[in-house]
Structure 1
Amino acid sequence: MPESGTCAASLIPLLHAGSLPETDAVIASSISSLSKCGTIADARSMFDEMLTPFFSASLEHGTRRRPSGTHGGRTTFTSATLSSLVAAQNYGGKRSVKNQTSLGEPADTREAMGIKNSTITLAQSWGTTQGRLVRVEVLVLFSALIWILIEFFGSLRRRYSHGFFRFFVWAVYTLFTVLGPYTIGLLQDGPFRDQMFVLWGTILLVIQVSADSISVYSIHDIEQRKRVVVQHVLQIILVLWLILNCKGHNKSYSATIWIFWIHSVVLTYRKSWSLSDASKKGGLLKQSKVVADYMMIEHEQIPLDFDPVTMEGYKYIFHGEDEVASQLPIAPEYRVRSNESTFRMTTIDSIWRLIESKSFRNEETMIMMKDVALSFSLCKLLKRRLCGYQIGEAGLVKTLNFVLHGLLSEDGNYVRSFWVIETELAFLYDFLYTRFYLLLDHRGYKFIGFLIVVIVTILNSISGAFSRHYHRSKLDQLVHGINVTHWVTIVLLIIVLSLSTLVIKGMGTRWMVVDEICTLARSSSAFKYSYNEGQEKYWQRAMDQYSLILNFDYHPWNVLKLLSLGLIDATREGQKAGEKIILTDELIVRVLSGFKERNGQLEDGQSALARNQLLSQFSWACNLPTHIHKILVWHIGTTIAMEGHPVPPTGDHRVAKTLSDYCAYLVAFVPDMLPGHGYDTQRIFDAVVVEARERLTGCDTLSSRCEKLMVAVSPSDTILELGSRLGRELRSVFPEERRWKVLADFWAEFILFLAPSSNVEIHAEKLAAGGEFMTHLWALLTHAGILDRPSTTDAAAARGNSSGAPAHGTLV
């Protein structure tokens, strides 16, 4: 008798024990065919052909498919079970694995055939109903896990800018937008019409529109809001079709399904509302228009006297512009004019008076409350630049004094002023990339959602609807006696309940403070919240660095670009960032104090050289064709001048080195944030990299490269040679402390000169990547009414103006 016949004979009682009477004929036919096989390999192939009719007959009679369960006292076999029995018969007998079969088949060939057939069996089982059930369970739980990751990492985006972190968040966000629709699509199939699986579908709908810490990944996604909303609406309709065609009459499940479906409709409406509010073609445009028109006449409001220290006379809008946005403009300018509606808007001066009238545990708490309120008001002013509206207060003395004598007050607390700008940009980030601001205007949404989950959980627990004996699906899956399908439902509800609580807590106390102030403005109650958030880390507080002389020879492989089919941008030659440097209070003070000392005048570094009696020696290095030429020349010169001198953790040496490498980083990695066209900047950078490779061939260390550049060559006007000349001349400045001071003064002055920009989109885009120090300076200068840098002629005139009146050139 062939060995396969022996195997078949041993399987006959097992197969009959696991079959239904109606399937006996199918089994008998299969066993008969199997016994005629000559080898184990042939028998294994015959098994694969036998499985399909066997399971089809079982499924037609309502047999539950379980991996290794029971049905009416009979053992139910899967294809994996049968393959295991064949393998046991093949390798568990007295034959040696090293011997050949009766037909002379080698053992290694037999093993390869076994692997092949096991793979085929796995692929076939993956397409079965049981396989699809496993897929649905995994995808549903994975979608819930992705939601957890989205909520957690979404709130960290503005604190970290590492490339891998940004790629991870992008991948998670992409999966979040794809997995839900795909899983809901799997539930359309007939076997998944049970109430349990339809409940999963409604929970997935809720999950997809519940992520508050990241509403969009990039600012460009905001303008694709209609496509996003249409996709959600189609999924809502699909799930509604599943509800209407689902099988089962469990009243508790039916009520839960309808509650979650209605809740998903409400959340979809909220998501559509939030995206429209942040769109430059929607709510952002309307609200910013009210603020822009109002600020054109704000300085005309009485009283005419103003005090930037107490904010008296500064009627910047704090709240209420939404009510005015729906009103039509008034002739002849067709702008928002002073009327009853505009006077009902809450302004920052009245908010400060309100805060000062309340009692606090200490003065620091009151100051923090006032700073948060001011940041919220300044954020509304900054939104105008996203829409391209005119800044009506630009160029006014009152506006400049607000920064010089208000934010940068007489006590010299520059770090506090910088924190106000940080908080303002945090509000702007929340408005563009999250839905936290909706929790202020429509805070009932989250509470209702949390209440819904609590009520559903309690009612179903009381009724026993979540008990594994209360509702049994025809596709329940048991693993070691545990009903996996039942526990998937429990886990989903726990995740939805938990995140509804954690997101409210994680939105940041700054929003709670604003909410409290808005409540106080409408009533006369006392403060209920003790604010102590002065040290919260809103941004990464780090500055990227780049050294051209050190990294010009970097050659990227760009493998990720090829593997990602161009989704990841290619790294250019020589483009290798250095280690980040912590943004210290010393550096903040150095930059902002110089701005105040110059009475708000922007200088391109020549003023710093003049104060140190070195303008005549280095004036040639300040009169270059473009600002990019100047950045790279002074960066190369600074690198050469500092070579061989260890950089201390503090002092002028550290400030000069940090600012020099940061400006070089902007040239190499963020050219759109600097003057001129970004593509022109890239071409200049690429050309200098080639110049350095040709000039410094054979030099492997920074020291050897700087020493070679110190050797004068024939006169040349290339950026590399101009930087080499500057470095040689800087090394002649003694003592060294004077050299570091000159460079620190120059860079602290020059970086402010570079900050004004009309490219608002790059600043908004970088908010989602940890933020840039340049963005903070840009926002500060906007509130000072400085929107553009002066020309060289204007700057020279300002240096000769003894009256101290600022000259800002043309404001746009």
Structure 2
Amino acid sequence: MGIKNSTTTFTQSWGSTQGRLVRVEVLVLFSALIWILVKFFGSRRRRYSQGFFRFFVWVVYTLFTVLGPYTIGLLQDGPFRDQTFVLWGTILLFIQVSVDSLSVYSIHDIEQRKRMLVQHLIQIILVLWLIVNCKGHNKSYTVNIWLFWIQSVILTYTKYQSLSNASKKGGLLKLSKVVADYMMIEHEQIPRDFNPGTMEGYKYIFHGEEQVASLLPTAPEYRVKFTEATRRKYTAIDSVWRWIERESAFNQEAKETLKDVALSFSLFKLLKRRLCGYQIGEAGLAKTLDFVLKGLISERGNYVRAFGVIEMELSFLYDFLYTRFDTEYSSFKGWALCFVIITVIVSNSISGAFSRHYHRSSLEQRVHGIDVTRWVTIVLLIIVCASYLVAAATQDWRWDIVDELHSNERPTWETGLVETSSVKRKAKKSWQRALGQHSLLLNFDYHPRNVLSLLSLGLVDPTREGQKAGETIKLTDELIERVLSRFKKSKGQLQDGQSALAKNQLGSQFSWACTLSTHIHKILVWHVGTTIAMDGHPVPPTGDHRVAKTLSDYCAYLVAFVPDMLPGHGYDTQRIFDAVVVEARESISGCDSLSSRCEKLVMAVLPSNSSCTILELGGRLGRELRGVVPEEQRWKVLADFWAEFILFLAPSSNVEIHTEMLAAGGEFMTHL
């Protein structure tokens, strides 16, 4: 009876007016906390790939999309008609639509933009109903209520506009079609006179394709005709570079930064065609190859710079898909935010929640003499103001820079052109810049417990047998230079590793290991062989030995964790990996150390027919690689092979997996 009476008492108190007030206060503050977490982690999720972190961000984002509407519903349904609670409702509405750094969690959410718009519009109408029926006539509260509501309407529009631009059924398809048609004939405009070092003659679109998108295609190809009048509607990258070079207000370092930003933005527009499946008109042209070999990576010192250009290009793509930084709202955001901050602080300091004579609510709650309702209002306003200040302090000027470069106006303190010093540094920090690692021979006996997957009812994907990741390796300049230098030495011709072996006079000896049935067979056989060849030799922090091991374990990591990034069907790759794990447990079970496992594979007798397993072939390759002496030559051969082979594996038709991984730390393969 005691438990029943306690339950009844709790239910009655929970359903009372004071109980509902407590619920609203807790939910309002919790919604504000979730908003802070979304803003904080939304801008950082592309720097971390850990599964738990991604799950945590997903939980926070899901709570964020649910809590605000639910709390507004409680205010709508309860006796909360006072201006104080209406102010809470408008702040909650503002919170729901004001996150710039995480407009959608997944690229699949982009196509649900109409549903999101309807949900936001319903909340806007509900809050408007609260405003119309609110009680109280405090002018300060009235100003702030309408200010937050109007800002919410504007932000809802900009969010929908941003999602429409990124939608395949909206602006993405429309604008990318213009770029695709244009690039089919771009090389015909300047057939001979072009210089990839200065971008002279490279007429890649930098800005203005939206002005051309309204034109109808004409016969016979039914593409948009790029006449002289049409060309005046857009800006090309070569003219932007010329303007930067002529502008005396920039020093040489600033000019190089601005050129890289402009080039990254143009490449980003070319890259968007891949999302739509359009034909790449410049593919296979000598002019395009010269742009890479004689422009981006024209010399040794340009390898890291070229990789930075690609990092910034992918940062533009990430912002375009997952944030709202590319909207027109961002260009005047600074002034709008300052206006909101000043208005909120000044008006509430005079007669609002910060004043001793603040507007008292008809529903009050005091704990130890403290007016909880008043302090909830104060905390909400402080959180909103602080978030604006933090956003202004951490603003990334890339989008403002491209807008200013398009206008070709002389830089002033109001523009992003004067903030070039932090652009490259922020672009470099935008990505995880680490390579996942996996050692098959070390981790094949890993047996996951999958407790989190069971507790989450499958929301967290279960880990498969043997699927244990090693410690990530920082992406160093040495790795970048080694891979890109192989691309330059091969003059852009992608080789599967045989060229690297031939240049080291070992092509005939290892040709058998380069002609296996699938690329996954080849990755795993060479990974096992590399592991065996390196067994017993400590890996130094730099040099060929480190490069070879890092790239070998990274390719094995892709097989185990991101199979869709590799050639072939991802599910087939997953099945091959699972089968090799079972084979390893059967053939080298009982060997507790990595060295003993390697030795058992080396000493294994191969069957006389061609039915060798991947592990048996890997053991044979490892035994032969050990015969390459001196050791320095062995490490050089392996480093050259993996640097060449990973470039060969990089091209992919699966655009979706690359765009998904942009929001999960980014992958080195995507950059390649």
Instruction: Tell me which interval the TM-score lies in, with the shorter structure as reference length.
Output: over 0.9
Show the counterpart of 1:372.
261
AA matched with 2:600: K
Specify the SS of the correspondent of 2:463. coil
Change (3 A) 1:708 1:360: farther
What is the aligned counterpart of 2:97 among 200, 209, 228? 209
Displacement after TM superposition at 1:473 (Å): 1.4
1:765 paired with 2:667, answer no
Displacement after TM superposition at 1:118 (Å): 5.0
Specify the SS of the correspondent of 1:560. helix
1:590 paired with 2:482, answer yes
Displacement after TM superposition at 1:377 (Å): 0.9
Alpha-carbon distance in 1 for matches of 2:204, 2:644: 29
1:333-361 Cα distance to aligned partner (Å, 9 max, x none):
22122131333311110111111112356
Alpha-carbon distance in 1 for matches of 2:108, 2:394: 25
8 Å CA contact 2:211–2:233 kept in 1: the answer is: no
8 Å CA contact 1:213–1:507 kept in 2: the answer is: no
Specify the SS of the correspondent of 1:260. helix
* Higher alpha-carbon deviation: 264-273 or 620-629: 264-273
AA matched with 2:266: S
1:294 paired with 2:182, answer yes
1:358 paired with 2:247, answer yes
Displacement after TM superposition at 1:290 (Å): 1.1
Alpha-carbon distance in 1 for matches of 2:411, 2:219: 38
1:545 paired with 2:440, answer no
1:622-642 Cα distance to aligned partner (Å, 9 max, x none):
111100100001001101111
AA matched with 2:434: A
Show the counterpart of 2:106.
218
Alignment of 1:42-441 (within 5 A): 113=2, 121-302=9-190, 304-339=192-227, 340-359=229-248, 362-410=251-299, 412-438=301-327
AA matched with 1:489: T
8 Å CA contact 1:360–1:366 kept in 2: the answer is: no
What is the aligned counterpart of 2:623 among 710, 728, 731? 728
Displacement after TM superposition at 1:464 (Å): 4.8
1:192-227 Cα distance to aligned partner (Å, 9 max, x none):
122211111111111100000111111111111111
Displacement after TM superposition at 1:249 (Å): 3.4
* Higher alpha-carbon deviation: 330-339 or 605-614: 330-339
8 Å CA contact 2:161–2:327 kept in 1: the answer is: no
Alpha-carbon distance in 2 for matches of 1:571, 1:465: 51
Alpha-carbon distance in 1 for matches of 2:24, 2:284: 62
1:161-202 Cα distance to aligned partner (Å, 9 max, x none):
122221221111111111101111111233212221111111
8 Å CA contact 1:277–1:284 kept in 2: the answer is: yes
8 Å CA contact 2:64–2:96 kept in 1: the answer is: yes
TM-score (norm 1): 0.79
8 Å CA contact 2:353–2:378 kept in 1: the answer is: no
Specify the SS of the correspondent of 1:191. coil
1:645-664 Cα distance to aligned partner (Å, 9 max, x none):
11111111100000000000
Specify the SS of the correspondent of 1:318. strand
Displacement after TM superposition at 1:252 (Å): 3.5
AA matched with 1:389: Y
Displacement after TM superposition at 1:468 (Å): 5.5
* Higher alpha-carbon deviation: 237-246 or 173-182: 237-246
Show the counterpart of 2:397.
509
1:700 paired with 2:592, answer yes
What is the aligned counterpart of 1:686 among 560, 578, 586? 578
8 Å CA contact 1:252–1:465 kept in 2: the answer is: no
Show the counterpart of 1:756.
651
Specify the SS of the correspondent of 2:525. helix
Specify the SS of the correspondent of 2:148. helix
Alpha-carbon distance in 2 for matches of 1:319, 1:563: 50
Displacement after TM superposition at 1:487 (Å): 1.8
Alpha-carbon distance in 1 for matches of 2:412, 2:169: 38
What is the aligned counterpart of 2:505 among 609, 613, 623? 613
1:353-384 Cα distance to aligned partner (Å, 9 max, x none):
11111235642222111111111111111011
Could you say which structure has the greater relative contact order, defined with CA pairs below 8 angstroms and 6 or more residues apart? 2
1:456-509 Cα distance to aligned partner (Å, 9 max, x none):
432343345754644221211112222111121122122222223322442413
Change (3 A) 1:485 1:216: same
1:704-749 Cα distance to aligned partner (Å, 9 max, x none):
1111111122414211111111111111111111111111110000
* Higher alpha-carbon deviation: 711-720 or 304-313: 711-720
AA matched with 1:480: H
* Higher alpha-carbon deviation: 551-560 or 255-264: 255-264
Specify the SS of the correspondent of 1:254. helix
AA matched with 1:350: S
8 Å CA contact 2:501–2:637 kept in 1: the answer is: yes
AA matched with 2:118: V
Show the counterpart of 1:799.
none
8 Å CA contact 1:454–1:497 kept in 2: the answer is: no
Show the counterpart of 1:624.
516
Change (3 A) 1:681 1:490: same
Show the counterpart of 1:745.
640
* Higher alpha-carbon deviation: 679-688 or 563-572: 563-572
Displacement after TM superposition at 1:525 (Å): 7.2
Change (3 A) 1:158 1:524: closer
1:741-783 Cα distance to aligned partner (Å, 9 max, x none):
1111100000000011111111111000010000000xxxxxx
Alpha-carbon distance in 2 for matches of 1:771, 1:548: 23
8 Å CA contact 1:436–1:507 kept in 2: the answer is: no
| Identical columns (%) | 75
1:775 paired with 2:665, answer no
Specify the SS of the correspondent of 1:676. coil
Specify the SS of the correspondent of 2:244. helix
Unaligned runs of 5+ in 1: 1-44, 46-112, 778-812
Displacement after TM superposition at 1:116 (Å): 7.1
Specify the SS of the correspondent of 2:206. strand
Alpha-carbon distance in 2 for matches of 1:297, 1:620: 44
TM-score (norm 2): 0.95
8 Å CA contact 1:450–1:497 kept in 2: the answer is: no
- Alignment RMSD (CA, Å): 2.0
Show the counterpart of 1:579.
471
Alpha-carbon distance in 1 for matches of 2:286, 2:215: 31
What is the aligned counterpart of 1:455 among 343, 346, 349? 343
1:564 paired with 2:456, answer yes
Alpha-carbon distance in 2 for matches of 1:756, 1:639: 26
Alpha-carbon distance in 2 for matches of 1:145, 1:236: 21
Show the counterpart of 1:89.
none
Displacement after TM superposition at 1:277 (Å): 0.8
Displacement after TM superposition at 1:685 (Å): 0.6
Specify the SS of the correspondent of 1:169. helix
* Higher alpha-carbon deviation: 225-234 or 242-251: 242-251
Alpha-carbon distance in 2 for matches of 1:465, 1:423: 44
Specify the SS of the correspondent of 1:443. helix
Larger Rg: 1
What is the aligned counterpart of 1:491 among 340, 354, 379? 379
Displacement after TM superposition at 1:303 (Å): 6.6
Alpha-carbon distance in 2 for matches of 1:770, 1:724: 34
What is the aligned counterpart of 2:555 among 623, 640, 663? 663
Displacement after TM superposition at 1:421 (Å): 0.6
Alpha-carbon distance in 2 for matches of 1:585, 1:360: 31
Change (3 A) 1:166 1:323: same
Alpha-carbon distance in 2 for matches of 1:246, 1:361: 55
Unaligned runs of 5+ in 2: none
